[in-house]
Amino acid sequence: RLRLHDGKLIKDRRYHLRTYPNCFVAKELTDWLIDHKEAPDRETGIRLMQKLMDHYIIHHVCDEHSDYKDAKLLYRFRKDDGTFPLSKDVKVFMRGQSLYEKLVSVEESILKVREENSVKYQRTFLGCEMVDWLIQEGEAENRKEAVELGRALLEHGIIQHVSNRHHFFDSDILYQFWINFRRRRRLTELLNENSSRALSESPDSPFCLRKLNPDPGNTSFLSVQTNKEIKIVSAVRRSSITSLAGNSNPYFSTTPALVFPPVAECNPKSVLKRPVTTEELLSPGAPYVKKTLTIVGDAVGWGFVVRGGRPCHIQAVDPGGPAAAAGMKVCQFVFSVNGMCVLHLDYQTISSLIMTGPRTLVMEVMEAIE
């Protein structure tokens, strides 16, 4: 975005007697991506910008197009018109980035190489040292507030206990930053998200997130990728991946581990008795009722699996999870997620919306009338 401003691709533009501030022409931007080697061809450039639209980073100036078209249409970065969604998760992420930059740029930083159980960890800090530093730098008024900030950073996957066994405490427990905020990513890395997702998630569960087993000598940490990394809280998530790996409980592994179970290559059979189209759901007099569910995620997720596409349906629900408590049932169809209609989306896109959204999830579902 800043490079486009510097290159004058983003500027006020006039169209049909109306001036649109801080916008760019899609076709010109595609040319720019190729000229600056951010994309090898126009098709890749279009896919890249569509990714930015999917992540609510850019949008059409009049919101008349939900997809990115390589044409003389005007688009704008949401940060340039104040519509970028600053949710609590994004604010915590930005706070973590600010603290990280502050820590690595000063001499005599509290970030040091330390050893625990004969394993060396890079750029670590003690919990009590971080609390002292936050108060000293005016980032927190007292120790209680500093601990709350540390806990928020840990819960959003920005810092972690070096062996992932403790929450954040004002003590001599050892922690490290889990995200390397200084690693600059190329835009084309956005297109590799699905391939990396395949390593950490079973095909039947878009909500399974598991941490990589950190290499003791690793100095690069986890690099900034999608917002789903902000959501990583614990090593074990509710997911039917555990049942496919041989665990008797299909939603929660009773033996937490940081290593991956074998990746399943099969999809479970759909719980739907027959395919249902969007037109059928929305037709007048259809035997379906719409319900609104408010689901507050816990430390291991929301507790359900969504499958299919156009429309998606609920494939499985953890009977002891937040989704079940909110009234979610299998075979319900997903109508909207946090106010956005998703009937035309596939389950991978819907899962991305959920993972990058707030922990409190508001979903509209359509349920067959018995």
- 117 with 70, same domain: the answer is no
With respect to residue 270, please indicate whether it lies within any of the assigned structural domains: no
Q: Which of 56, 77, 98 is the last residue of a domain?
A: 77
With respect to residue 292, please indicate whether it lies within any of the assigned structural domains: yes
> Comparing C-alpha atoms, which of 215, 221, 261, 252 is closest to residue 234?
252
pLDDT of 228 above 80: no
Half-sphere exposure of 51 (CA within 13 A, CB side): 17
pLDDT of 84 above 60: yes
pLDDT of 87 above 90: no
Pairing type for strands 174-177 and 112-116 reads: unpaired
pLDDT, tens only, 166-209? 899 999 999 999 877 776 667 777 777 554 333 333 333 333 32
Q: Which residues share a beta bridge with 288?
A: 368
The whole-number pLDDT of residue 299 equals 66
Band the pLDDT of 74: cuts 50, 70, 90: very high
With respect to residue 148, please indicate whether it lies within any of the assigned structural domains: yes
Q: Which residues share a beta bridge with 18?
A: 15
The total number of residues shown for the chain amounts to: 370
- 92 with 73, same domain: the answer is no
The whole-number pLDDT of residue 68 equals 93
The whole-number pLDDT of residue 59 equals 93
Q: How many domains does the chain have?
A: 3
pLDDT of 347 above 80: yes
- 300 with 337, same domain: the answer is yes
pLDDT of 161 above 70: yes
Q: Which of 149, 177, 205 is the last residue of a domain?
A: 177
Specify the CATH number for the domain of residue 56: 1.10.10.10
With respect to residue 208, please indicate whether it lies within any of the assigned structural domains: no
- 282 with 348, same domain: the answer is yes
With respect to residue 267, please indicate whether it lies within any of the assigned structural domains: no
- 69 with 103, same domain: the answer is no
- 98 with 58, same domain: the answer is no
- 93 with 51, same domain: the answer is no
Band the pLDDT of 79: cuts 50, 70, 90: confident
- 95 with 173, same domain: the answer is yes
pLDDT of 61 above 60: yes
pLDDT greater at residue 235 or residue 299? 299
Name the average pLDDT for the chain: 77
Specify the CATH number for the domain of residue 314: 2.30.42.10
pLDDT of 276 above 60: yes
pLDDT of 94 above 60: yes
With respect to residue 192, please indicate whether it lies within any of the assigned structural domains: no
Please answer whether residues 179 and 158 qualify as being in contact, where contact means their C-beta atoms are separated by less than 8 angstroms: yes
- 171 with 95, same domain: the answer is yes
With respect to residue 250, please indicate whether it lies within any of the assigned structural domains: no
The whole-number pLDDT of residue 193 equals 59
Please give the C-alpha separations between residue 253 and each of 160, 241, 243, 305, in angstroms, as whole numbers: 20, 9, 9, 16
The whole-number pLDDT of residue 223 equals 35
Q: Which of 17, 49, 77 is the last residue of a domain?
A: 77
**pLDDT average, residue stretch 69-92:** 86
Please answer whether residues 164 and 178 qualify as being in contact, where contact means their C-beta atoms are separated by less than 8 angstroms: no
Q: Which amino acid is at 331?
A: C
With respect to residue 340, please indicate whether it lies within any of the assigned structural domains: yes
How crowded is residue 217: how many other Cβ atoms within 10 Å of its Cβ? 9
Lowest pLDDT segment from 117-121, 221-225, 320-324: 221-225
pLDDT of 366 above 60: yes
Q: How far apart are CA 110 and CA 24, in angstroms?
A: 43
Residue-number span of the structural domain to which 165 is assigned: 88-177
The whole-number pLDDT of residue 249 equals 33
Q: What tokens were used for 207?
A: 């909500």
Q: Cis omega before residue 206 (within 30°)? A: no
